Amino acid sequence: MKFLSTLVANILGTFIAFAILLFIGFLFVIALVASGDQTPAIRSGSVLVVDLEGSVPERVSGDPLSQLVSGEAAYGLHDLTHAIEEAATDDRIAGLWIKPGMVTSSWASLERIRRSLDAFKASGKPVYGSSRSYYTRENEFYLLSAADRIFLDPEAVFEYNGFDMQVTFYRDLLERWNVEPIIIRSGTFKGAVEPFLRDDLSPENELQLQTLVDGIEAVFLDGVSVGRGIPVKDLSAIMDNDIVFGADQALAAGLVDTLAYDADVRAAFNRALGNEADERLPTVSIRNYARAAPLVAAASGSVAVVHVSGNMIAEPPEHTLPIGQGQVASAGAVVDAIRAATRASSTRAIVLRIDSPGGLAPAADAMLAALNDVDSDIPIVVSMGDVAASGGYWLATGGDMIMAEASTITGSIGVFMMLFNLDPFLSEKIGIHTDGVTSAPHADMITGVTSLSDAQRRALQSFADDTYARFLGRVAQSRDMSIDEVDALAQGRIWLGRDAVENGLVDALGGLEEAIDEAASRAGIDPSELSVAHYPKPRTFTEELLASMGGIRAKSVSARDLPEPFASQLRVLQLFGNAPRVPQAVMPFTLDVR
């Protein structure tokens, strides 16, 4: 009987493995067909159509199967901006058509995209803009304002009314459910735990969030002012005094140039290029052009770019299907990437690209330890992306220089711990009772079904305070400040990159390209010898799938599968629900400036 059961199990296992391999092969063939020609032909005199929608990720694998199955974007931020800037000197490209839809990228990414559009515009080729979604908000208008002319559908919605940020609070819900949140924090501005303690913003949190939205508005107005030639004070007055919510109002305010349809934009391009107005306009999408003019990363390079993206955790969850997953920065993977970059004989400088709201303090510290082990002869320049806060800033202290975009979210130098006592909820709401024994008085303090005694609370507070003190010390040493000077800027407070430069937490404004140039300069690398390698290499769908074959389980719900605001709230609950009971150096990463 045992022999037969073993035989059946082996046959079944072989059949399942064979079926999975056939499925992978089938998907791969479909992906190859769907990807089409990897080097599409581009006609001379073509107009590059930059039809953006959704969020542009930092990096992509470029794997057709990942794009088909897991919904990976066709290009990353740096592929996009490189392609636009390459088009400026491409004789086949005669103009550029900006067509943003509902763009949800963070403002630091929008800044980088806008700079690439400005670089193209400087070539003298015509740049026109229109909306692809018939709904233009500040995000899309910021990009459109780089155009020579902006066309708007006569019936389109044009929202120009400023920025807002909403925070969801859970205290009342937890109270109704008899769930006791147990919060330990160091930092009066550490707003990540505030939704579980209050029903509204504290004065400290209101101050930092108001400063944040005002700063984003300033970045927006500065960009629009340059693009449209309208003084900032006039743009601000329109925003404050008028309710612009339609195409006619946008035209009357001078925010757009013409009310017209796509056919009119094509005719305008034809006239600008010396063609007949009704002639067929040759165009190439940014998706195809990015494939035709790829940003090629070297296998090894004189400058190594180490990417740290996502919430900082100890190790990624195993045996999970690579579908609908968000990015995480596991300590092991980042440490391995830093060591691989250091071991490469060609590496003469390192750029640490951080796009992370932080996470587990021990994970951030493990990454920092690996960074501190890098040979002192190798300069390290930190490049902050959309966000490099809390644990992200902890890691940034290992750099010789820190660069950020004006709207990068950084700072949040603070620590918290969060537990829940579920016993009243279980016993009083659903009739589940718990009991147990302990070998020592405090053995059950973090079981989730007991409250904390005063002594236990003091012990955890001391632990959090010690972690915060070490955080302050690392920042003080890195930034050449006193502990008191750092503490005045810390307390968990969030800063925009432009403000962080002024207060000394960041050295200069700039993106990844500027950081690479700075690192090369510090290492004495001649521009003609500059080559760039990226670590770690993004894994393809097949690599992710094979890595998970030890025992696959699918996530029941992924945040990326849900619309806002539910996706943001799910990420909050997943963070606090799955995190070990260790200090968290993380900002309230659901910040959504609209």
| Whole-number Å distance between alpha carbons of 136 and 158 | 5
Q: What CATH number is associated with residue 52? A: 3.90.226.10
Looking at the structure, tell me whether residues 255 and 389 fall in a common domain: no
Looking at the structure, tell me whether residues 274 and 337 fall in a common domain: no
- Predicted pLDDT at 552: 43
Lowest mean pLDDT among 274-288, 318-332, 507-521: 318-332
Cβ-based neighbour number of residue 220 at 10 Å: 24
Looking at the structure, tell me whether residues 96 and 48 fall in a common domain: yes
Looking at the structure, tell me whether residues 345 and 479 fall in a common domain: yes
Closest CA to 359 of 567, 586, 583, 112: 586
**How far from chain centre, in Å, is Cα 426?**
37
| Whole-number Å distance between alpha carbons of 413 and 390 | 5
Looking at the structure, tell me whether residues 307 and 268 fall in a common domain: no
Determine the residue type at 507: D
| Helix segments in 247-296, DSSP class H | 247-252, 262-272, 286-292
Closest CA to 96 of 144, 48, 131: 48
- Predicted pLDDT at 144: 97
- Predicted pLDDT at 574: 52
Looking at the structure, tell me whether residues 271 and 375 fall in a common domain: no
> 458 lies in a domain?
yes
* Number of domain units in the chain: 2
pLDDT tens digits for range 201-238:
999 899 999 999 999 999 999 999 999 999 999 999 99
CA torsion, points 493, 495, 501, 505, in degrees to nearest 10?
A: 30
> 184 lies in a domain?
no
Looking at the structure, tell me whether residues 279 and 341 fall in a common domain: no
- Predicted pLDDT at 544: 52
Residue 371 has pLDDT above 50, yes or no: yes
Three-state DSSP class for residue 404:
strand
| Whole-number Å distance between alpha carbons of 308 and 357 | 10
Contact 312, 364 (CB under 8 A): yes
- Predicted pLDDT at 528: 86
> Crossing angle of helices 331-343/361-372, nearest 10°?
10
Residue 29 has pLDDT above 60, yes or no: no
With bands split at pLDDT 50, 70 and 90, how would you rate the model's confidence at 254? very high
Looking at the structure, tell me whether residues 347 and 254 fall in a common domain: no
| Whole-number Å distance between alpha carbons of 109 and 164 | 19
Determine the residue type at 191: G
Q: What letter would DSSP give residue 426?
A: I
Lowest mean pLDDT among 101-115, 133-147, 361-375, 564-578: 564-578
> 90 lies in a domain?
yes
Looking at the structure, tell me whether residues 73 and 137 fall in a common domain: yes
> 561 lies in a domain?
no
Closest CA to 189 of 523, 488, 527: 488
> 574 lies in a domain?
no
Looking at the structure, tell me whether residues 282 and 312 fall in a common domain: no
Lowest mean pLDDT among 183-197, 267-281, 308-322, 488-502: 308-322
- Predicted pLDDT at 58: 86
pLDDT tens digits for range 544-586:
555 455 444 444 444 444 455 545 555 555 555 545 455 666 6
- Predicted pLDDT at 300: 63
In sequence order, which residues have a C-beta less than 8 Å from that of residue 489 and are 6 or more positions away? Answer: 411, 413, 495, 503, 504, 505
pLDDT tens digits for range 263-312:
999 999 999 998 887 889 999 999 999 887 665 555 567 999 999 999 99
- Predicted pLDDT at 66: 46
> 208 lies in a domain?
no
Looking at the structure, tell me whether residues 249 and 365 fall in a common domain: no
**Average pLDDT score, the chain:** 84
Segment of 1-5, 19-23, 129-133, 228-232 carrying the highest mean pLDDT? 228-232
For residue 106, give its domain range.
39-161+243-292
Looking at the structure, tell me whether residues 422 and 311 fall in a common domain: yes
- Predicted pLDDT at 14: 62
Contact 113, 80 (CB under 8 A): yes
| Whole-number Å distance between alpha carbons of 280 and 300 | 44
Lowest mean pLDDT among 175-179, 298-302, 525-529, 581-585: 581-585
Question: Looking at residues 3-23, what average pLDDT do you find?
Answer: 57
Q: What secondary structure does DSSP assign to 485-499, as a single string?
A: HHHHH-TT-EEEHHH
